Amino acid sequence: MDQHLIFLLLGLANGAVFAALALALVVTYRSSGVLNFATGTIALYGAYTYAFLRHGELLILVPGLPKTVDVGGDLSFWPATLITLAISALFGLLLYVLVFRPLRAAPAVARAVASIGVMVVLTGLMSQRLGTTPVSVDAILPTKIWQLGSVRISSDRAWFAVTILGITFAIAAAFRFTRFGLHTRAAAATEKGALVSGIAPDRVAALNWMISAAVAAISGILIAPIVPLVPISYTLFIVPALAAAVIGRFQYLVPAVVGGLAIGMLQSEMTYLRSRNDWLPSSGLPELVPLVLILVVLVVRAKPLPSRGVILQRTLGRAPRPQRILFPTVLGTAAGALTLVLLHDNWRAAMVTSLIFGVICLSLVVVTGYAGQVSLAQLTLAGVAGFLLGTFTTQWSIPFPIAPVLAALGAAAVGVVVGLPAIRVRGLFVAVVTLAMAYAVQAVWFHNSDYVPAEGKNITGPTFLGLDLRSRIGTDYPRLPFCLLVLTVLVIVAVGVAKLRTSRLGSAMLAVRANERSAAGAGIDVVRVKITAFAIGAFIAGLGGALLGYKQGNLTFDPFEILVGVGVFATAYLAGITSVSGGILAGVLAANGIVFYATQQWLDLGDWYGTITGVGLVFTVVSNPEGIVGPIHVLMERLRSRRLVPAEAPPAGVHAVEAPAPAPADAELLSLRDVRVAYGGVVAVENVGFDVAEGTIVGLIGPNGAGKTTLLDAISGFATASGTIRLGGRELGGLAPHRRIRAGLGRTFQQIELYDDLSVRENVVAGLAARARRRASAADLDRVLHLLELTDVAERPAGELSQGRRQLVSIARALIGDPRVLLLDEPASGLDTTESQWLGERLRRIRDSGVTILMVDHDMHLVLNLCEHIHVLDFGRLIASGTPATVKADRRVTEAYLGSTHAEPATVTA
Amino acid sequence: MGRRMLTAVVCSALLVSAALVSAGAANAGTAAKDPLGTKKKATGSVVTLGLVSDGKSDAIDNTPEIKGAQAAVKYANDYLGGLAGHKIALNVCETKQTPAGATDCATNMVQAKVPIVITPVSGQSGTIYTGVKAAGIPFLQYGSIDQTVLAGPAESVYVLTNGIGSALAGPAGVARDAGVKKVGILVTDVPAASGPVKAAAPLFYKNANVTPDVIVVPPGEADMTPQVQAGVSNGDGAFAMVGNAAFCTSAVKAIRTVGFKGPVIAIPQCVDSSSASATNGGYKGVKVLTATNTDPKNKEYQQYLAVMKKYAKGVETGGVAQGGFISIIALVKALPNLTGDVTAQTIEQGMASMPATPLPLGGGVTFQCNGQQVSIAKSICSTEVLEATYDAKAIPGKFKVFDTADLLKIG
């Protein structure tokens, strides 16, 4: 038999392990939206419970109670399994009630962080109660040996894979064909909708948590005969299992499970290839498999931009704008320096660790807090720089300031690679991809004894201009000069990150974080901003890694372990990942930092430390899903805003509608021919063609679903269309959205996609990215604000404005890009009649300033009064065109509205 | 987390053998006599020795090591006259298995000005040693394959047992004696574990005229059948396992699953109380290279159990507890004639001039820390290891001294 085939088969057992956990991950995610890092630990708890029941004991994890209770004799397979499933289901219910129900409305990242807390607590409890002696479980499935040529395969491996597949199909069928499954899918799609249909989402969610915990337990039981149980047994399976879940897009059970099996089988094949080919890297090949698989599946298949209908969850807290930088910097630096001088020995070492982790956490503020990319690879990137620094200082003798900067640049290069997949995937998928990247880097590099010697990588220095800045000379450790160096780096990085927040690049990052689509609509090159964020973040993390290297003088993979990295992310998230102060606080709270050390010294928590930390983590997330620093910022802002202009003044007096606009110029500025958009088999826009003359306001109307927004998307590049779209004679077809915007289009969105954290002025500044033709001056900005009467609210956060004002801000953002044609998608939605009239007036002023407008709106009064020309769409086709009067008289138009179930006849006749 | 566990255990290499001792074993001998021998109280001034242990984390529990050392201290103070007459006390620090914790412990020891730091086994020995050597404090380990420690000067670093011999060179000798030409070495894919194996195996295996085939296993691998089968397909005639109980359980299962019949060689920490049932008797015939005779019939071993029963009741007597115990007793046995204050200098002088001395629980293995034992690692105090064979219950028997001197030559 072919050796390759045999080795693929030999990988079935490992594959089935990943598949089993992937199954549990997907079931949990699909029903609750929680990326559950604790899945492996819940599975392990199930496995332990089962193992003890088979020996006639019921395991109790609650501290203080007896460890086990005799159940009167060893149980056989079925009773043990059923009791385990029941206990696990109850545990799932407990998790829901205590942790995930309070977090129902919290950001997805908060829920993932909570699951990390659950993992820590459960692991701590098991370790405390069960010790580290492996517990083993007898085979459950038949262990006949199958002879395949010269190779023997144990049948239980194959049966394991088959069983997992069987369970998967059963669960998939149950969700597909039962009422409960329907309710789950309904509740997952929209909680409100489910409520309206008489489904109790709460009960559905509770039941689903019970089911997913039970599924995790089944996985655990099936894995147990293969893997000896110790409290951390299953934690390392999380990366391949997550990769498998990603292959199923966290939605589809069968692809996830098949993906898990494939990972195990390909890893086995890699082992074989490695044993036959000396030129292959000696370490890490199997660990590359999950990464390569998810890259192939995710990146190749992902859509470049999310389409309408994708509900973009708010995932992170506000990123407040630093008001003053100098004062906190001076105060913080002084406090830090004083602390370092006063503390000695272990205390000072802990303080310096905190400062270094402050630097690393600030990298998370840039990547995650500003740009919205959840990166679990930052600690690994710090490690990249640390190990590079070893080579630079000991082998190449590069001197001090250059070596760490080069090392950080190296990390930045790796960071760009880590960030590349984020171009095509988003949200928590980015988290999984970065984790898989970290896992691969760690395996191929940090674990590889070809690159990292067994005794660790040595780092020498730093010395600078005769100053000895080394962290250790003899027993003098950590030396003050080194500590002050670390503080200096932290201060520089912190100021830099604060400056970044107020810079144009920072605004662009926040725009991308808030909404990629609207950022692209504002002319921001989303891809470049994301990659820049990853590069800057990695550079900062690299500086932190270099400092850690200097501090320890010798590095192994341990401080950069991927699960430690996940922990660092959780700490940063909790401390407040969106602000500089949060990043620094995260360093203070980091493992082995000053708070950690103080608690260890003052509170004799002993072995309970891990468990208590986990409980604290979960409690903090539940009570404060947006981090500790968040409420402080809110408070400070409230205090500050008292001193500012009180409330938003209502729009200044509404004037009578002005005289009709000057006659349209002849030049056809925007020209559409045979524009067609199809999604799969559904044609959304069918061969539409019309021209928009320069200096006019043109309306685009039609019933819901007629394809109006799709047509705007086609023009601005958010939807792939065939046909020709010309702007001032220039063909736009095939250009990316931000290039079309820069070519002279402006665009607003139906859901006003503002960046609520940014001030009105910053929101408008974000649109400056669109301005390719000439540089904008402050005067341009003031002119646009003035034109739309936004001057008085320019410094207020956009989130605080009324709906009408928000509309104007989004229009201002489009205008500052100096567009020739402005595409407005329902600018009057949510406005009352007066406001809408007032809006019409502003639009006319815009037109008079030389901007051509193509607008979609349902407010017929506005459209008929404002537009010189109107086009009517129905079912994707252009059914009528003409002046307001002709369109109003056209019977086809009335029919289109009346014939549609969602028609608004009242407004048509208005 | 997982990696750290594996590193910790693997690095610590030479640990003691199985924890599987029937409870009744300690009762052998005459009931009337004190099983611990004749009392001889320490009467001199108190000397506080440093003990740095990895302690307990989620991954590994080495606290029995501390208990074993504390029991040895009490026993030595009551029955052996302490350390050359001085009453022994211990200053204990736990690394929590992190480099930072190890650095802290080293700093603590330096500040406490202890005359010697004892770290029986640790995944962080290099870091601890680096920290204490700067202050001129001698460093004693029960076993180590940490290259910084092994490279340390023989005057101030003492590694009692021959970890290189049992983990790296010994298996080549066992394979040679069994007529095997190629050995698959299964080791976790982290530098601390795989680095020494990859670097040293070719040198030592050449001395035995055996080819090493290093097979790295990703940390936490569930099923090792692919790796073992790759070895078998590659022509490996024997397997050596370098890992802890969880690692070796998987390895033995895989070796039995693929139906491999050749020699299998383990290091002592491969086996714990769960091994026999976890592998379904798979350990039968597996050879182990160790430094501790844990044959239930062995007199010295029975005495050790009696000491533990008296001074550390309820503590696991297998595994790391023995390392803690032996480290203390070996120091006491090596320095009976130390005069004056116990300082770093007097300890170094005493160790340099010690005669070859039977290693506590060593089953005939001797140690002599004069830097003359192993030319490539002068801090190792012995060329000998014990070879034993497991039965189906994973209990070692048929102990014999196995000299690795000819395997450890280089050049």
A449 to chain B: which residues are within 8 Å by CB?
191, 194-195, 198-199
Cβ contact, residue pair B110, A286, below 8 Å? no
Please tell me whether residue B294 adopts helix, strand or coil conformation. coil
Contact, B108 vs B49, CB < 8 A?
A: no
| CA–CA dist B365, B292 (Å, integer) | 9
User: B184: which strand partners?
Assistant: B213, B239
Query: What pLDDT sits at residue A775?
Result: 55
Residues 360-389 of B with CB under 8 A from A: none
Contact A873, A707 (CB under 8 A): yes
How far apart CA A229 and CA A428 sit, in angstroms, is 30
Q: DSSP characters for A617-666?
A: HHHHHHH-TT-SHHHHHHHHHHHHHHTS--SPPPPP-PPPPPPPPPPPPS
User: For helices A480-502 and A526-552, what crossing angle results, to 10°?
Assistant: 170
Backbone angles phi, psi at B20, to 5 degrees: -100, 85
Q: For chain A, how far is it from start to end, CA to CA, in angstroms?
A: 79
Q: Which residues of A touch B130 (CB under 8 A)?
A: 553-554
The single-letter DSSP state of residue B355 is: P
Burial class (CB in 10 A: 0-12, 13-18, 19+), A774: exposed
C-alpha angle B117-B120-B126 in degrees, rounded to nearest 5:
70
pLDDT of residue A794: 82
Cα A705-A753-A639 angle, rounded to 5 deg = 145
- Cis, peptide link before residue A478, omega less than 30° from 0: yes
Contacts of A268 in chain B (CB under 8 A): 225-226
Partner residue opposite B1 with nearest CB, options A135, A448, A563: A563
Type and span of the H or E element at A567: helix A562-576
Q: Which of A710, A708, A701, A746 is nearest to A727 (CA)?
A: A746
Neighbours of A66 (CB within 10 A): 10
| CA dihedral of residues A598, A599, A603, A609 (deg, nearest 10) | -150
B3–A134 C-beta distance less than 8 A: no
A682-688 and A467-468 as β-strands: parallel, antiparallel, unpaired?
unpaired
Q: What is the CA angle A855-A859-A861, rounded to 5?
A: 105
Q: What amino acid is encoded at B233 in this protein?
A: S
Residue A898: what pLDDT?
60
Q: For residues A595 and A597, what is the distance between their CA atoms, to the nearest angstrom? A: 5
- Nearest CB partner across the interface for B195, out of A232, A446, A454: A454
Which of A64-78, A374-388, B7-21, B295-309 comes out lowest in average pLDDT? Answer: B7-21
Number of Cβ within a 10 Å radius of residue A84: 27
Give the DSSP letter of residue A73: S
CB contact under 8 A, A136 and B189: no
Chain A residues closer than 8 Å to B195 by CB: 449, 452-455
Mutate to test the interface with B, among A275, A287, A473 (most CBs of B within 10 A): A275
Between CA B341 and CA A525 the distance in angstroms is: 75
Helices and strands (H, E) in chain B, number of each type: 14, 14
Q: Render A829-875 in DSSP notation, one character per residue.
A: TT--HHHHHHHHHHHHHHHHTT-EEEEE-S-HHHHHHH-SEEEEEET
Q: What is the largest CA-CA distance in chain A?
A: 95
Q: How many residues does chain A have?
A: 910
What CATH number belongs to B164-290? 3.40.50.2300
* Residue A749, φ and ψ in degrees, nearest 5: -120, 160
| Strand partners of residue A472 | none
* Fold agreement between B18-161+295-380 and B164-290: yes
Closest CA to B360 of B293, B277, B289, B276: B293
Testing the interface with A: which of B58, B124, B128 to mutate, by most A Cβ within 10 A?
A: B58
Q: Residues of B numbered 24-83 whose beta carbons fall under 8 angstroms of chain A's beta carbons: which are they?
A: 56-61
Which of B5, B223, B255, B271 is the best residue to mutate to test the A interface, defined by the most A CB atoms within 10 Å of its own CB?
Answer: B223
pLDDT number for residue A906? 40
Cα–Cα distance for residue pair A12/A525, rounded to 1 Å: 44
Instruction: Give the one of A14, A286, A353 whose C-beta lies nearest to B100's C-beta.
Output: A353
What does DSSP assign to residue A393? I
Q: Which of A271, A452, A458 to mutate to test the interface with B (most CBs of B within 10 A)?
A: A271
Measured CA to CA, the distance from residue B282 to residue B278 in angstroms comes to 8
**Which residue type does B288 have?**
V
Q: Provide the chain B residues 228-247 that lie in CB contact (below 8 A) with chain A.
A: 229-231, 233-234, 245-246
> Which tens digits make up the pLDDT trace of B350-364?
999 999 999 999 988
Contacts of A271 in chain B (CB under 8 A): 226-227, 230
Fold of the domain spanning B18-161+295-380: Rossmann fold (3.40.50)
Question: Which residues pair with residue A698 across a beta bridge?
Answer: A854, A869
Alpha carbon dihedral A350, A356, A358, A364, in 10-degree steps, equals -140
Q: Angle CA(A495)–CA(A530)–CA(A634) in degrees, nearest 5?
A: 50
Give yes or no for a cis peptide into A462 (omega within 30° of 0). yes
DSSP A701: E
What the block records as the tokens of B335 is 């320095």
Question: How many A/B residue pairs have CB atoms within 8 Å?
Answer: 208
Q: Which residues of B touch A235 (CB under 8 A)?
A: 1-2, 220
Q: Does B136 touch chain A (CB under 8 A)?
A: no
Chain B contact set for A6 (CB, 8 A): 229
Going by their DSSP bridges, the two strands A877-882 and A869-874 should be labelled as: antiparallel
Q: What's the CA gap between A166 and A157, in Å, rounded?
A: 14
SS3 A909: coil
A132 contacts on B by Cβ (under 8 Å): 5, 58-61
- Supply the DSSP string of B325-343, one letter for each residue: HHHHHHHHHH-TT--SS--
CB-based contact, B96 to chain A, within 8 Å? no
Are A92 and A39 within 8 A, CB to CB? no
Residue ranges of alpha helices (H) inside A11-154 are: 12-32, 39-54, 77-95, 108-130
Residue closest to A350 by CA, chosen among A186, A174, A483: A483
Residue in A134, A443, A592 nearest the CB of B272: A134
- Tokens (6 digits) for A130: 């069960």
Of B131, B191, B231, the CB nearest to A447: B191
Which of B1, B127, B272 faces A232 most closely, judged by CB atoms?
B1
Is the Cβ pair B195, A455 closer than 8 Å?
Answer: yes
Residue A736: alpha-carbon gap to chain centroid: 23
Domain ranges across chain B? 18-161+295-380, 164-290
Name which of A378, A832, A341, A805 is nearest A590 in CA terms: A378
CB contact under 8 A, A228 and B273: no
Contact B225 A13 (CB under 8 A): yes
Give B154-165 pLDDT, tens digit per residue: 899 999 998 888
Place of tokens 């038999």: A1
Query: Do residues A255 and A170 lie in contact, with contact meaning Cβ atoms separated by under 8 Å?
Result: no
* Residue B329 near residue B76 (C-beta atoms within 8 A): yes
What would the two tokens of residue B101 be? Answer: 């914790």
User: Quick one: which of B245, B223, B222, B169 has its CA closest to B8?
Assistant: B245
B398 closest CA partner among B276, B297, B264: B297
Residues A561, B4: C-beta atoms closer than 8 Å = yes
> Is residue B241 pLDDT above 90, yes or no?
yes
Which of B104, B189, B223 faces A346 most closely, judged by CB atoms? B104
Q: How far is CA A267 from CA A4, A230, A432, A678, in A?
A: 12, 23, 19, 40
Chain B: residue nearest A127 by CA? B58
Residues paired with B61 in a beta bridge: B56
Scanning every residue of chain B, which has its alpha carbon at the shortest distance from the alpha carbon of A448?
B191
Residue of A nearest to B232 (CA): A151
- The whole-model pTM stands at 0.77
Q: Is B281 on the interface with A (CB under 8 A)?
A: no
Query: Smallest CA–CA separation between B64 and chain A, in Å?
Result: 12
Question: Which pLDDT band holds residue B30 (cuts at 50, 70, 90)?
Answer: very low
Mutate to test the interface with A, among B113, B114, B211, B216 (most CBs of A within 10 A): B216
Low-confidence stretches of chain A (pLDDT < 70) are 1, 185-200, 299-318, 455, 474-475, 604-607, 609-610, 626, 630, 637, 640-667, 680-681, 751-753, 757, 768-777, 898-910
Q: How far apart are CA A129 and CA A223, in angstroms?
A: 21
3-state class (DSSP) for residue A903: coil
Please list the residues that pair with A576 across neighbouring strands. none
A contacts of B4 (beta carbons < 8 Å): 558, 561
Query: Pick from B28, B62, B10: which is nearest to B244 by CA?
Result: B10
Beta bridge partners of B352: none
The set of residues, in sequence order, having a beta carbon less than 8 Å from that of B137 and lying 6+ positions away, is B50, B109, B110, B114, B115, B116, B117, B156, B344
Phi, psi for A467 (deg, rounded to 5): -80, 130
What local confidence, expressed as pLDDT, does residue B29 receive?
A: 39
State the DSSP H helix or E strand holding residue A906, giving kind and residue range, or none if neither.
helix A905-908
Radius of gyration, CA atoms only, chain B:
20
